[in-house]
Structures are given as C-alpha cells and as structure tokens.
Structure 1
Amino acid sequence: MLWLVVALLAGRQMAVVLRQPPGERLTDLETWIGENGVLHVTGSLYDSDRFTGTPFAGLVLKPLARTAEQSLGVAWTFGSLLLVAALGLVAARALPGPVSRRTALLAAPVAISLLMLSLPVRNALHLGQTSILPVLLVLLGCFVARGERASGVLIGIAAALQPTVLLFAVLLWLTGRRRAAVTGGTAFAACTALAWAVMPHDSWSYWVHHVAGAGLGDSADSLSNQSLHGALLRFGLAGPLEVGLFLLLAAAVCYVGLRRAVRYANDGQLLLAVAVTGCVAVAVSPTAWQHQLLWVLLAVVGRAGERASDRLVWPAIVVLVITLPGKILLPNTPIAFPVRDNVLLLAALGAACAAPFLLRTSPYWQRPVPTDYAVPVPARWSRVPLLPFWRRVLSRPNLLLELLLIRVVYSAYAHVRLAATAGRPTAEAHGRQIHSLEKWLHIDIEHWANHTVVHIGWLKSFFDYYYSTFHFIVPLAILGVLYVRRPADYRWARSTLGFATLVALLGFWLYPLAPPRLMPGLGFIDTVHGVQDFAKPDYGTLTSMTNQYAAMPSLHFGWSLWCGVMIVMLAPKLWMKALGLLHPLFTVSAIVATANHWVLDAVGGALVIALGFVLTHVLAGPRKLQPVVDRAAGAERNPSAAARAASPEATGETVGSKT
C-alpha cells in the first residue's frame, strides 16, 4: 500500500508539472536552456542574474541547450523523480542499526513519500533545478561507493555543483577517511579548474564578483534564502557589520555542527552525521534557496529525547517545517514573523547545533522511559452492540499526527468558510435584522463603543492589536500546555474546541451576516482594515482568500471563551483563573469596539462553545477521571491497582518528566 502511495505521488507530481503552460513550468530550466536561455547566449552566464548554478553546472548543462523543450520537460521531470526515488532508497538503507524488520519494510516507501511531499523537491521539480543531484551524490559517496577514491570523486563532483557541500570532505577527514577527503577536494578542484579553463569570465563572475553565487537569482534578503546571511539581512543589518557577524556565526556553526557530526559518525550513525553536516552547509552558505534544503529532511533520522513521550517531537517538527510553508505553520502576526520567516533556517540550526540526539550507546536508544497515564474510563457507548466507535482515551496522542490533524481540520474549516459565501444584499439584510433586534433588546452598543475607542488613540491601537494577534496564539498555547502537562484532558479539550468550530461552520453557511464595519449608512469605522469604498460592487470581500460575511457566530469570542473556561477549570491557582477570564473580556471588547462583530455574534459564539462541550460530554463522558475510592481497602484487595490510582497520573499528568 505504501508503494502504491509512492506511485500515486510520483504520478501526481509529474502531472502537476506537465499540466502547466510551457511558460510557467520548469521556469529555471527554461531560463537556462530555452530558446532565449542563458546557455544560448554567447556572453557570460551571469550577465543577468537568471542563472544561479556554478560554472561547472553550466558546463554540464550546455549540451542540453539544443534539446527540444517539450521532450526535455518530460524527460527532466521523470528523471528527477527517479533521482528522488534513488535518494529515498539509499537513505532507507543507511538507517543506523539495529533496525526491525517492520522498519526495514516501511523505511523506503515512507522516505520517498516524504521526499516527494517536501518543499525542496516540489520546488526543484517546478523550477527544473538540479539541487537533488548533489544530495544523492553525497549519499552515494558515503553509503554505496566502494573504495575511498570513488567516494571522494562523487562528493567532489557534488561540491562542484553546490560549493558548500565541500564541508563533507572536512567530515571525511575528521572521521579518519583522509584519502576520500583528499580525493573529494581534488575532484572539486579539477571540476572547478575545468570550468575556469573553458569559461574563465563566467568563473570569475561567479566566484569573485558574486562570491560563490551570492546575489544570483532572488535578492539575498528574500524569504527564500534560508541561510544565516539572508536572516541577518532580513533583520536590517548590512555592510561590513553584517559580513563580519555572518562570518563569526558561520565559524561557530561549523565548529559546533562538525564536532557533533563527527561524534555521530563515530557512533555508527553516519546518516545522521551527513544530515547534520548538510544542515551546517545550509546555514553557512551565502544563499540557501528552498530547493537546496533537503538536508533538513534527512535530520528526521535522529533520535532525540530519553522519554517515549518526547521521541516523536523532533520528527514532527522536521516533517511539518519541510512540508508546509511558514505562512501556514504560524499565524500571520508581527510577533511571529521572525520565526515564520526563518523557520527552515531555525530547523537547520537546531539539527546542526542544538537537537539532543541520542548515541546508540545510550540506554534509552532502544528503550525510552515509558509514560504512564491515567486509568482509562469506560466508553459511554460501550454497552451498545456494534457501536464502540467512541471511547475516552487518556493517553497523549502522537504529536505528528495531532499537528497534521489540527492543520487538516483548520484547512478544511478555512475552505468551507470561504465556500459559505453569499451576496452582499443577503448579508446586509441579515445585518439589518441583527441591528433591529439589538435595538429592541437595548443592547446596540456597537456604534457608541466604536466611536469612543476611535477617539482614544492608545485604546484603539490596543484593541486593533488584540483582535489581530491573540485569536490564534492563546488557544494554541493552551493546547500545547495541555498536551505536555495534562494529556488526559488534552483530547477532551481539543474535541470540545473542534466540535464548536464545526457547529460554527453551519452558522456561516446558513446565516451569512455583514459585520457592522461592512454596513453602509450606519457610520461605523473599520479600525483594523482601514477605510473602505462602499461604492464598489464587491465591497466586503476585501480579498478572495477570506469570507468577510462569516460573522455569526463570532469564533473570535467563542475561542476566547473556550480559553477562559479551560483556564478556570484546570488552572491550579486562583490568580491564574482570574487572569484567564480577562482574555474573553478583552476579546469581546475588541470585536465590538473595532466594528468587526455585533454583540449578538458574541452570544452566538458562546452558544457554539456550549454545544461543543455538550457534544463532547455526550460522546466521551464527563471530563472527571475515574475516581479513587477507599485506597486502603483497595490496596488490600488489589495493591497494584491502588498504587496506580494513587499516582499523579490519576490527575492526567505524566510522570515521564519526574522519572
């Protein structure tokens, strides 16, 4: 079945590339070898910044310049997929032992599937890049080639295509394979010298004028450059200060990362050593474009953490970072920009310098510290024949699957919310209904609150920031704390929030509602989005990516109320409970003051949260865990059960950290 998944993914990737119009697919390859490509130009490859490869890469690609574009597109894409498959097979065979039979069977198809889903491979296939080849050559040199000379030649050719790969020659030297290291350096020098001899002007432009490719392609400070150099430029540094700091940080990363790589190589984890060295190369390169970051995915082989509950944290981080863009992983708030914009670099630095990978000599390598959980509660529907589909599970779920579940559910929520659109007349008619009802109930305070806040600058800024920022951060923070500290309550809390969100989708679909800021003639001021033009026929859509008429119920308030209830129920101290109530109070004030919701929208948000709690209670039973009764008598009848019930796990907390 997994190999079938691999075949389907390969077919899909090929179809995605080849279905695109000729001018939009394999854009880098077309830029190089197309009719007007740089390889046809008689001058320098680097007269423009379109060609980003080394002079040796240009020398290798020159013979392809006369190939027909259509046939080359098919052959190039199919060949790239074959390289990905070969890369996955070599990586699977290189896993550090001992490896179980099950792992051996699953490793290759899982590795190939992850590679095909990764951003670097998808990017390389779309652009027609050659960045998969250096990674494969390094793996072949380290794990397949027989003899030091063949290994060194393969790594030298890879370095000629991607210069920072030369760090692997340093790794070979430090691990005692000095002949291979010398051969790799010689092969790199020979390939580079050949390119200098054939294309001296191009070589001078690449190595001297552009400093090993820096400045070619996109600008060095763009988000696609996930190197230390790119990050420093994005932080506003420039000139000699930036260069000096970059060289200092690069030297530190090389020292720490290569020492760790040597340690893992000597421990028999050569694949992890290769991944760590590749992550060092990513960080210290002047430019590390997205299609060059496959090394980060290889770091998934490292085992980090002594506890079983922590063992999947690092693989989950790597898979999520390497398969999902930063804009999807983190909320679109300024406070998250430094992490979101550098998430791949941070993962590479973590693998190179920080992740606590275990040595095979560690007693926790095969047997991590197990985590004990609370006593399971019988399923509410267990007595119904053929209906044991729901039971209260108290164990901590798999982090990778949980994060993927949250991401998939949120993606589905966003798509359904966007699809639940309605015309402007309907949404405004519903807005007039809500406004009239609030007048009848004497709770139409939106206009007063909106205009009062507008005239108080600091309060307006506070509510605008609170509305835009805390909607996602607080619920995710609470879920994270519950996952780590209260696993028995985590699933219950997550299910409650999920059910409430699904119920809210029905409200968006059945009752599209224009918020106060989109109601013409009522005089509301949109403090968050700015002044809008009511004369436009499509006013209220703002963008094609969101449904501005999904106002009833207000999930801004609903989610904040859920946060407040969770903190009140689970926080151990009174001051924490009181502090937790401030979040829904600030949120309801923000949504009304910024004219983004009616007061009744907040009432609707409270109702869907209440329905979420009710549904979870009906299906999974009460939150309270199995009670402990008569411990002394229970100890006499069943000592092990009494000890288990008296443990801290009866409260849903793990003892892995205490152990």
Structure 2
Amino acid sequence: MANVEHGGGPGEGFGTPDAEGRLRAARLALWAVAAILAVRQLTAVLTTPSGKRLTDLETWVGPNGVLHVKGSLYDSTQFTGTPFAGLVLKPLTRAAEAALGWSWTFATLLLVVALGMIAARALPQPVSRRTSLLAAPVAISLLMLSLPVRNALWLGQTSIIPVLLVLLGCFTVRGERASGLCLGLAAALQPTVLLFVPLLWFTGRRRAALSGAGTFAALTALAWAALPHDSVTYWLQHTAGVGLGGKADALGNQSLHGALLRLGLTGPLEITLFLLLGAAVSVLALRRAVRYARDGQLLLAVAITGCAAVAVSPTTWQHQLLWLLLAVVGRVGRRASDRSVWPVAVVLVMTLPAKMMLPNTPALYALRDDLVLVAALAAAVAVPFLSRSSPYYQEPVPTEYAPAVPARFRGIPLLPFLRRVLTRPNLLLELLLIRVVYAAYARVRLAAGASGDDQGRARAEHHGRMVFDTERFLHIDIEHWLNHTVAGIGWLRDFFDFYYESFHFVLPLTVLAVLYWRRPVDYRWARTSLGFATFLALIGFWLFPLAPPRLMPGLGFIDTVHGAQDLAHPDYGAMTALTNQYAAMPSLHFGWSLWCGVVIVVLAPKWWMKALGLLHPLCTITAILATANHWVLDAVGGAVVVTAGFALSYVVQGPRTARAPALDAAGLMEPVPVK
C-alpha cells in the first residue's frame, strides 16, 4: 500500500492537465476493481448453498449451534472465540438464518472497506498526491484478494474485527482512553492483541496502554462472571484456545506452536521451546516496532507487532493472519528496482496457496507448510525496513535504463514507460515470479483439458481426426512413419524418449540463467517473450483440446515413452492426475525449444554456439513426432505462439538494444549508446 510510489515528493509530476486526467482515470479504474472484487466475494458466498457457506457462523449461532444449546461453549471444540466473544455473539442466535447470512456478509465487507481506508490514511508521511489518492482502492483490493479475508467471509469469522479495532485505536479515535478502550476490546476478542499494550507504553502512550489493559481485564472478568465454567475451560484447560477449531499441529495453525508440533516435538520440550521462542520473538519485535513508531512509521510498527502476535499465539488460523498484509507498507532496499521485492512477496504469500509458491519437493515441505509463519517472523524480527531518516527512504538509487532504439513502425513501443532496464533484476523476485507463473500455467493447463471426462475426450479425439485429415491433405502426415521407424531401432528410441523427457524444462531454464548472469537486458527481453508465448499457448489449450497421436484410437501409433495404454483410462503414474494429456496444440515442447534456438542464435557470439542453438529445436521436433506425442501441426502452432511472443514484446516495449551493456567492476551495467 505504501509502495504504490516510493520516489519523489508530494505532488511531484502531477501539475499538468494530462497528468491530472490520467490520475483521475487510474483512480476510477482502481475503485472499479475494488468494487468488482467486493461483488465477486459477496456473490461467491451468497450463491453457495446453505450448509456450505458461513460454516463457522452456523456452528456458533445456528439452530444447533454451540450458542443455542445448553452446556459449555467448548464441548465440541468448534467455537474458537473467547468466552467474551460468546457473550457478544449470543444475541445473534435470535436472528433468522437467511437474514443473518446476508447481513453478516455485508457487514464483513464494510469492515474490510473501513480497514482499507484507515490503513491508507495511516501511511507514513510524506506521501505523494498520487499515493494518497490511489492507496485506498489498492488497499481494499489487496484485502479482498487476501486469503484471510476470503476465509473470514467464507466461514463467517470475526477475525477482521480485532484488526480493525487496533487500527481504530491507533489512528482514528481521539483521546488515549478511547484508544485503549478499542485495544482492550480487541484483546478481549483475541488475547494476543495484548502485545500492543507494551507498544503503546514504550511509545509514550501510557494512558492508552493502561486503559487497554484495564478494558481487557474488565471484559474478561465480565465473561468469568457470566460464564465461569466456559472461562475455566478456555483459559485453563485450553490455554487461551489451544486445540479449539482443529488440531494444534494442523497445517492451518500458522503459529510457532503449530510449527514445532509439525516438526515432531511434543511434551515439555516443545512447550519450553515454544515459550522461549515466543518470548524472544515478542521482545525483538517490540523493540523494532517501538523504533519504527518513534521514526514516524506507526502503521509499520502495528504490522510488526501483529506479525509477532501471529507467531506467539498458541493457535493462529488462516483467517487471523491479516496482520502480515499490513507489513507491505515497509520500504526495503536501497535501489528503486528492489523496492517491489518485499511487497510482492507478501502479497503473493497472502493471496496464493503455499503449494503455488514452492515446488513440490520433500526437502521444502517444512518451509512450504509454514510459509506464512516464516513471512510473519521475517516481518517481525528480520526484514531490514528503512527508517525515514535514511537518504534512500524517499529517494532510492534510481533505475538505469537502456537508450531507446528507434522502431520501424509508428506507435511502437505501445507502452513507452516500460523501458528496458540496464541493471540485473532481483534474483529472489525473479525466482518467486517464475515459480508462481509456472504453478499458474500448470493449473490452467490442467483445467483446460478434460482427460477424465468422456465428452472432453471425444472432443479432443474429434480435433485429432481433424488435424490428421488436414495433414494428409497437405501431405505432411509423417508422424506414423517416423514413429514406427524410431520404435524399431532400440538405441534411437531410447535417445528420443530421453530427449523428450529431459530437455523440455532444463534448457529454457539454463538459457534464462545464463542471460540473467551475463546479459541482464537481454534476459528481460527473452523472459518477456517467453511469457507472452506461454500465455498464448494456454489460450490454445483451452480453446482447442487435442488428442496427441499416441491417444488416437485406431491409428496404430506407438507410445514409446509410456508404453501401451487403455485410451479411456490412461495411466502415467503419479502424473496422471497432474497433467492434461490433451494440451497438445500448440506444442510447447517445440515452442520453448524454438525460443531457445532463436535466443541463442541472436545473442551467441560464436557460430558453433548458434549452430547448437538451432540443433535443439530440430532434435525436439523429431522427438515429439517420433514418440507420438505431437502432430506436425502442433509444432507449427508452437512456432506461431513463439513468433507472436517475440512480436508482442516488440510492440509493447519496442526493439531490444542492439548490443548488451557490459558489466562494470561493481557488477552494474555500463550503458552502451546505440547508433
């Protein structure tokens, strides 16, 4: 939110009518996006059949909910709130189910909007006029997209209320007593919010701290008086909520306690280690939070304290993780090109499942399972946020751009502000984005097909017959001859099977790695072109599911890689449910290999390197035809999307630089003028 813009002073660059018009248009567009996201969330919840939506709310206040029936609130462990929360929710049991669902969802959306508005107004000053105008819709949109808000809306949870109360107490209400009242009320609903009391105390707001602690004590005492048995159960037997809502070692519990349990620690050792780590995190986080609060970055201080509360709480479910999203206001990095790394990482962690962030590798399971906790701990105790006194806070080291190359056509580049950057992009951000983009590609590719659906299979086979007939008409149907010829020569069959399975991902990643290290400017050009080509291929998979030759009945093709298959229920081991067997048009095996060849031919300094670059797509097209995994026209489609990818890169950003700049002694790029 704070990183909408980091450079320049307030109002810089927005004095002209054209600039003001663009700013107003951008603001309206962002508010429209926020409204669309809100309507989408509302529709997703309210169109879901009763019994599958607002399940936690139904468990609490429904006809058979824990607040309706006699006995303890915690007999079923489904109620995760404090006894005071039970008192607050008790009147809702009289509401009609339909009316409660609508009103609860609308009220939650309004709370999210209020949260975004307060956070936008609490940005550390000074901020530019553009930031002040665009921050609110950006904040609300990010909140709507975040997993905690989506989870809270879907389940009917109350976890947004404590966050909003803390922000109200810190930024909106007047008077320290009123501020403490908001904080104490939030702590009565979510006890780890008490961590904000020392933050207020050490930042000079001692009356607010005392008021908050007193309010919490009074409300908790009220709950003890009204619900003594439930209070004993919650505070003593469940140790402030441990074991409520699910097992403490469940993946959904993103606290230090849950992480230690998942690592196999139990008993006194785990409890002792949790208490020691919790105390250390609390002390370190509070010291950092106090420092940033005194520096004028109170919203960042609140985010750091909230992240510490996430970590040290005995249980922290997904809908309680909203504090981490507020940490995007922190500015990290001296270079302007590095400023986006931290906010992008936080937004991705808070909006995407952990499985999309990290590969499905056993060595990374522990990190993947606790990814949100790791991010919260990083924000609380590790990330070196800049202070406002730093010379780089307002004016980071500017990004160097390559000189513009004149285009042959008028109107190119289409987006001239996307100039080609000279410096090497941030490696962490690149790896993160590559992983996320690939995960999205894999999901869309899988969703585009219907491998297990008879109707989808029939459609794919129909398209296969169309392609086969077209190739016969054009006299390019060489797949059957090549497939049977190679299948009859053992060593040749093994070679092409190995080539098909091994080089599809390895070579593109190798080319990208070499370019990243040696030719950063060309890396961005090549990476962008590959991204465009892959996106276009996904459209092809979606619109034209196609059975490859090996899955076409009655044509006599040999599946040299997987062996003979039941075409109705093919079995490829663990990959059966993870791949779309009908994503054949266009062929990205050939497309990506052609991309490698073009990049190597354009950039390689030696003729033999260029020859090897051309050899790869030739071997690939032979392999995909010999193994009966693609038609000839699939390869043509792959060539088309790659050509279109390079063309789109040209249209959007203009021609690539004629020569790559050289690295200087410091590892930065020396601009090379283009004649």
How far the C-alpha of 1:260 sits from its partner, in A, is 0.9
Deviations 1:372-412 (A, max 9, x none): 12211112313xxx676377941379999995995898489
| Residue 440 of structure 1 pairs with residue 481 of structure 2 | yes
| Residue 496 of structure 1 pairs with residue 522 of structure 2 | no
In structure 1, the residue matched to 2:243 is: 215
| Residue 184 of structure 1 pairs with residue 215 of structure 2 | no
**Aligned partner letter, 2:165:** L
Relative to 1, partners in 2 of residues 1:606 and 1:270: Cα closer, same or farther, differing over 3 Å? same
Deviations 1:203-259 (A, max 9, x none): 222222222212211322333222222233334444444333333332332222221
Relative to 1, partners in 2 of residues 1:592 and 1:199: Cα closer, same or farther, differing over 3 Å? farther
In structure 1, the residue matched to 2:582 is: 549
Alignment of 1:220-619 (within 5 A): 220-334=248-362, 336-382=364-410, 389=414, 393-395=419-421, 410=441, 414=445, 417-418=448-449, 422-423=457-458, 425-426=461-462, 437-441=478-482, 444-445=485-486, 486-502=519-535, 504-505=537-538, 508=541, 512-514=546-548, 516=550, 547-556=580-589, 558-559=591-592, 562=595, 597=629, 607=639, 611=643, 615=647
Q: Structure 2: how far apart are the matches of 1:342 and 1:591?
A: 40
Relative to 1, partners in 2 of residues 1:192 and 1:614: Cα closer, same or farther, differing over 3 Å? closer
Deviations 1:315-346 (A, max 9, x none): 11122221222233444454554443333222
Contact 1:393 1:488 in 2 (8 A): no
Q: Structure 2: how far apart are the matches of 1:239 and 1:375?
A: 64
TM-score by length of 1: 0.78
Deviations 1:98-143 (A, max 9, x none): 1222222222222222222221111111111110110011111112
Deviations 1:590-636 (A, max 9, x none): 9899x7946979966974576357646875776452699xxxxxxxx
Which is worse superposed, 564-573 or 71-80? 564-573
Instruction: Give the root-mean-square deviation of aligned CA atoms.
Output: 4.8
Gaps of 5+ in 1: 454-459, 629-645, 653-659
Which is worse superposed, 498-507 or 92-101? 498-507
Which is worse superposed, 60-69 or 413-422? 413-422
Q: Structure 2: how far apart are the matches of 1:73 and 1:549?
A: 42
Relative to 1, partners in 2 of residues 1:388 and 1:603: Cα closer, same or farther, differing over 3 Å? closer
In structure 2, the residue matched to 1:657 is: none
How far the C-alpha of 1:186 sits from its partner, in A, is 2.3
Alignment of 1:61-100 (within 5 A): 61-100=89-128
1:18 aligned to 29, 32, 46, which one? Answer: 46
Contact 1:625 1:650 in 2 (8 A): no
Q: Structure 2: how far apart are the matches of 1:317 and 1:293?
A: 15
Gaps of 5+ in 2: 1-27, 662-667
How far the C-alpha of 1:157 sits from its partner, in A, is 1.5
Deviations 1:484-513 (A, max 9, x none): 985522442123213433564576455712
**Aligned partner letter, 1:173:** W
1:650 is paired with a residue whose SS is coil
Which is worse superposed, 265-274 or 250-259? 250-259
| Residue 121 of structure 1 pairs with residue 152 of structure 2 | no
In structure 2, the residue matched to 1:649 is: 671
1:364 is paired with a residue whose SS is helix
Deviations 1:560-587 (A, max 9, x none): 664687579769999x999999999999
Relative to 1, partners in 2 of residues 1:94 and 1:601: Cα closer, same or farther, differing over 3 Å? same
In structure 1, the residue matched to 2:25 is: none
**Aligned partner letter, 1:512:** L
Relative to 1, partners in 2 of residues 1:451 and 1:228: Cα closer, same or farther, differing over 3 Å? farther
1:305 is paired with a residue whose SS is coil
Contact 1:553 1:604 in 2 (8 A): yes
Contact 2:484 2:558 in 1 (8 A): no
Contact 1:308 1:371 in 2 (8 A): yes
Deviations 1:54-79 (A, max 9, x none): 11111111121121111111211121
Alignment of 1:138-157 (within 5 A): 138-157=166-185
How far the C-alpha of 1:162 sits from its partner, in A, is 0.9
Relative to 1, partners in 2 of residues 1:225 and 1:516: Cα closer, same or farther, differing over 3 Å? farther
Contact 1:431 1:516 in 2 (8 A): no
**Aligned partner letter, 1:199:** L
